[in-house]
Chains A and B, each alone.
Chain A
C-alpha cells in the first residue's frame, strides 16, 4: 500500500485551545500541589499561598481563551447541557466546580481568619479535598477531551490523558516554584527548595517516560503514525519541548539540587526561575504540537485508501480577475 496516502491535518483547533488546555493544566497542577502542601503544615505555607494565587486566575484566563475560540461565544452558557455524553459538557461542570473551590479556598486562606478556628479549619479542609478532586478532574479532562475525539487517531489514545495529567502536574509544580521564588525574591528563602527541585526532577522524568510511551503507541497505528512522524519532524517539538522544555529544566533542577546539598541555597534563584520558565514553556509547546499534528484518518474500503481533498484556508493566489478600477 502506498505509504504516502495520509490524512489531512486538522486546523479548527489552534493556539487558543492549546493555551486553554495549558492553563487548565497549570491551574489544576498548582492547586493540587498547593492543597497537598496545605495539609503538610506551615513550613510549606508560602507554596500553598502561591499555588492558590496561581490556580484560580489560570483557570479564569484559560476559560476566556476557550470562549474566544468559540464560533458563537454568546452561547457559551449552553456548554454544559449534555454531560451524559459530551466531554466538553462534563468538563464545563468539572472546571466550574473547580473554579468555585479554588476561589473559595483562596479567599478563606488569604483574606479571612476562618482557618484559625477549629470549625473553620474543617471547612477549609473539606474545600481543599473537594478542590483536589476537581483539580485532578480538570487535569485529566484536558487530556480526555482530545482522547475522546474519534476523528483524530493521534489523539485517540488512553495515554493522552495520562501524559496531560503528568504534564499538568509538572507545569503546576514549576509555576509554584517560579511564583515562590519571585514572591520571596530569593530562592534562599524558599523553604523546602531541595524537596521541590527533587520533586521536579522526578516529575520531569515521569513526563519523559509518558511522552515516549505515547509516541510509541502512536507508531503502532498507521494514521496515528503519520502524526507521530510529523510531530517528531517539528523543530518546535524537538528543540522547544524535548530539549528546552524537558531536558534543560531537568539539568537545571539537578544543578540546584546538588548545589544545595550543603545547606546553602544562595544564588540559585535565577537558575530556578529559568528552569521553571522553560518547563512552563515546554508544557505549552507540548499541547500546541499535539493539537496541530492531529490528522484526520484515512478512509479505506476493500483495499483502497483515499486521500482527503485539501481544504484551503486561503484561496490560491495568481488566479482570478483583476481588481475593479
Chain B
C-alpha cells in the first residue's frame, strides 16, 4: 500500500495560480473555496526584500488534528494516508475547520453564483453545483482529497498535472525510489510550521 505525499519545489513555483484553477475545474469548488491555494510571502526590508509564492493544499497529515476533533468519525485517514471526509457522517459542526492550522477546510452553506447582484446560476454553474453536491455536499466539511477519483484512474491530482513549471510532484513517500522520496532526501524537503506537530505529508523544497 502506498503512502501518498507531495513535494512542492519553491524554486520553480512562480505563482501563476494554475493549480488553483485546475483544482476549481476538477472539483467544482464554489466561490470562496480554494482546496488548492496560493499564498504570497515576503522576507527582509527594502531594498533587500524577496517575495515568494507558496502553493498550499491539504497537508494530509500523519497526525491530522481535524480527524482528532471530529465528533462523528466523518474525517478518516485511509490506509494510503489520504485524509477524507465522509459526507454522510459529517454533521457540519465546523470544529475541524477550527482545528486545522493550515486552513485547508471549508464548509459551504449554499452554492452561490460567481457573478454578483443575485444573478441566477449559469448552466455551467448549475452543472458545477450538482457535481459539488454529489461529491462534497452542502453544510458539511470539505477539503482536498488529492483528487481521489483521478488517482484511482491512475492519474495525478489535477493541480499537480496542471503545474506548468513542474514544481509539484506527487508520489509514494514509502517508496525510496520514488521521485518525491529522492527529492525530499536530496534537497532536504521541509514542512510548513512543523511546530504544529501534525506531521504534514506535503514537503517543500526551499528557494535558495
A residues touching B (Cβ–Cβ < 8 Å)? 1-2, 5, 8, 10, 12-13, 69-73, 75-76, 78-82, 85-89, 92, 145-146, 148-152, 155, 294, 296-297, 299-309, 311-321, 323-324
Is A306 a contact partner of B93 (Cβ separation < 8 A)? Answer: no
In whole angstroms, how far apart are the Cα atoms of A304 and B138 in the complex? 35
Is A13 a contact partner of B119 (Cβ separation < 8 A)? Answer: no
**Which chain A residue has the least Cβ–Cβ distance from B194?**
A301
Residues of B within 8 Å of A323, CB to CB, are 117, 119
> Would you list 15 pairs from A and B whose C-beta atoms are within 8 A, ordered by A residue?
A2-B42, A70-B93, A86-B68, A87-B95, A88-B69, A92-B71, A145-B95, A149-B98, A150-B196, A299-B41, A308-B37, A309-B37, A312-B31, A312-B32, A315-B116
Chain B, residues 47-70, CB within 8 Å of chain A (1/0): the string is: 000001010100000000101111
Residues of A within 8 Å of B90, CB to CB, are 71-72, 75
Residues of A within 8 Å of B111, CB to CB, are none
Of the candidate stretches B100-108, B127-135, B171-179, the one touching chain A is B100-108
Residues of B within 8 Å of A297, CB to CB, are 101, 193, 196
- Total interface residues in chain B, CB < 8 Å: 61
B residues touching A (Cβ–Cβ < 8 Å)? 31-34, 37-43, 45, 52, 54, 56, 65, 67-73, 89-95, 97-103, 106-107, 109, 112-117, 119-120, 138-141, 190-193, 196, 198, 204, 206-207
Looking at the assembled complex, report how far the CB atom of B99 sits from the nearest CB atom of chain A, in whole angstroms: 5
With A8-B103, A80-B71, A306-B39: A319-B116 Cβ-Cβ less than 8 Å: yes
With A72-B92, A304-B42, A305-B41: A296-B103 Cβ-Cβ less than 8 Å: yes
Is A82 a contact partner of B91 (Cβ separation < 8 A)? Answer: no
Residues of B within 8 Å of A314, CB to CB, are 116
Interface centre among B37, B40, B42, B93 (most CB of A within 10 A): B93
Is A86 a contact partner of B32 (Cβ separation < 8 A)? Answer: no
Residues of A within 8 Å of B70, CB to CB, are 82, 86
Residues of A within 8 Å of B107, CB to CB, are 12, 71
The 9 closest A-B pairs by CB, nearest first: A71-B92, A71-B139, A306-B41, A75-B91, A306-B39, A89-B71, A149-B98, A88-B71, A78-B72
**Which chain A residue has the least Cβ–Cβ distance from B114?**
A315
Residue in A76, A300, A313 whose beta carbon sits within 8 Å of that of B193 in the complex: A300
**Which chain A residue has the least Cβ–Cβ distance from B191?**
A301
In whole angstroms, how far apart are the Cα atoms of A145 and B37 in the complex? 28
New A-B pairs, 4, CB < 8 Å, besides A13-B94, A80-B71, A82-B73: A70-B92, A86-B71, A151-B99, A301-B204
Is A12 a contact partner of B73 (Cβ separation < 8 A)? Answer: no
Is A299 a contact partner of B68 (Cβ separation < 8 A)? Answer: no
Is A5 a contact partner of B32 (Cβ separation < 8 A)? Answer: no
**Which chain A residue has the least Cβ–Cβ distance from B113?**
A315
